Amino acid sequence: MLYNILIVKYGEIGVKGKNRYLFENKLIKNIKNMLKPIGKFNVYKEYGRIYVDLEDYDYEEVIEEVKKVFGIVGVCPGIRAAKDYDKLKELALAMLEDKIEEGYKTFKVESRRGDKDFNLTSQEMSLDIGGYLVYNVKDRIKVDVRNPEVKIKCELRQNHVMVYSDTVAGYGGLPLGTNGRAMSLLSGGIDSPVASWMIAKRGMDLEAIHFHSYPFTSEKSQEKVRDLAKILAKYCGRVRLHKVNILEIQKAIGLECKEEEMTIISRRFMMQIAERVAESRHCDALVTGESIGQVASQTIQGLTCTNASVSIPVFRPLIAMDKTEIIEVAQKIGTFETSILPEEDCCTVFSPKKPVTKPRLERIEKSESKLDVEKLIQDAIDNIEVEDIEF
């Protein structure tokens, strides 16, 4: 089938009322960005829909990229031609012949009359085109108006006709950059890239902050985080990555505090640094990959102690997900293979043998009071390395 156009269907934007055009324009821009590696495409809107002209590109390759753009619920490959009712019937027949070859047994026709001057109603068009198709394909496929295996969708618009059938599901969500900004705590693990992706899917622009203990952790582990940020950038547009060395903080905690409190106190420092960097970058929330009870610091008491260190909202999209569910998403978005590469990160290097699982906030705060918290945080922030990562 020689498809020459993609029809892009979007979901929640349709309810945005007066702001709808802002969302649509953002979506068009994001589609063009996603398609840049393949080529330059004409992406435009018409009759409350978004179209992509395919020209000579392979439609399957283009759909594969378009469906990843947040805000899109489906993509339909179609054939568009100059306005001519007989041509519409011919295109419908060509598409049905394709479907018969693919082995489908039942079909129905659905029509839309965008041109109100045309002498048939939508319903009459469906009957007329359906009759024409049945006459031509004889008994090679049956009509089933209630539960057809395939629908042949025919449109007669003001200045063109169009036929399409399949819809490839998109990732849904809202267009990037329509819901503010968030700062994601990005480790080299499986969880944080998935959490970042899920928040971006709700329309938030993302920046990332990564904590390391170089030279205790290798250059390789930072390379790995850059690779993860690069994969995320495919969905999220350019990602600004802030790299923070917390070796001095970890040494100070190791000297002054109880070993079992190491993880939770380190986490609190990370949150406070992330909060300050987020505020300087006009981000409205932090994002973490935490899930209840997954590791010792993620018990409800542990999360309470971490939360208490900041006043900015902390989003945890994976909070109630199982590891298997998280891995499924990681595989779907392409971060899993990179996440499982065996590199040390700052959490594993200094992790205590028996971390406290039910920390009490007042005890943790008492331990922290032995440290010069303000100086440690400021020194870490003063030595941040920043890098913009594009896909």
Annotated binding-site positions for ATP: 185-186, 210-211, 267, 289, 298
How would you class 388 by CB atoms within 10 Å of its CB: exposed for 0-12, middle for 13-18, buried for 19 or more? exposed
Q: Do the Cβ atoms of 41 and 3 come closer than 8 Å?
A: no
| Cα(293)–Cα(300) distance, integer angstroms | 7
Q: Indicate the DSSP class of residue 237.
A: S
Q: Do the Cβ atoms of 128 and 120 come closer than 8 Å?
A: yes
| Cα(190)–Cα(196) distance, integer angstroms | 11
Q: Do the Cβ atoms of 343 and 219 come closer than 8 Å?
A: no
Quickly tell me which residue has 């009509």 as its tokens. 143
Kindly state the helix (H) or strand (E) to which residue 110 belongs, with its residue range.
strand 106-113
| Cα(304)–Cα(287) distance, integer angstroms | 15
314 to 175, 220, 308, 317: CA distances (angstroms): 21, 29, 11, 10
Kindly state the helix (H) or strand (E) to which residue 168 belongs, with its residue range.
strand 168-172
Known binding-site residue numbers:
185-186, 210-211, 267, 289, 298
Phi/psi region, residue 17 (left: phi>0; alpha: psi -120 to 50; beta: rest), is left
Kindly state the helix (H) or strand (E) to which residue 380 belongs, with its residue range.
helix 373-382
| Cα(332)–Cα(181) distance, integer angstroms | 24
Q: Indicate the DSSP class of residue 149.
A: S
| Cα(363)–Cα(376) distance, integer angstroms | 20
Would strands 181-185 and 205-212 be described as parallel, antiparallel, or unpaired? parallel
